[in-house]
Amino acid sequence: MAGRPDALQELSTGRLGVTGYRAGGFRIGAQWYNGHVLLLPRGVTAWPVQSAEAIDLDSLLPIREVEPPAEILLIGVGERPLLLPGELRLALKAWGLAVEAMPTSAACRTFNVLLAEERRVVAALLAIEDV
């Protein structure tokens, strides 16, 4: 599969890493998910945003409900780097999150590394358009 990150499937935490991605979606463990996704401790859920520019606090509310609370939020913003608006970064910091926005490919790899380190990490990933 094109764009395959250095992947760990099921980790000691029982959570699944990103085992692949391509235009339009992600493989988490052995299952394929179409579209944009939120990777939460309880599983994978659709992330109903249309573009990186549409990312706002409301679209990230499911992350606030994570127990125990996440400490790191990775935001995969597609193929090109994007600076998140300052007010969004401040609001997420107020939730107790360290936030890193990066291209989706890097976010997938970083998510797997942090899972392997048993960090309390969640991810919001925009599917890329082309690999």
State pLDDT tens for residues 92-107.
999 999 999 999 999 9
Look up the CATH number of domain 18-125.
3.40.1230.10
State pLDDT tens for residues 67-95.
999 999 999 999 988 999 999 999 999 99
Pairing of strands 72-76, 121-125: parallel
- Side by side, the strands of the sheet bearing 25-28 are 18-22, 25-28, 31-34
Mean pLDDT value across the chain: 89
Instruction: Look at residue 10 and tell me whether its pLDDT is greater than 80.
Output: no
Q: What pTM was estimated for this model as a whole?
A: 0.87
Instruction: Look at residue 54 and tell me whether its pLDDT is greater than 50.
Output: yes
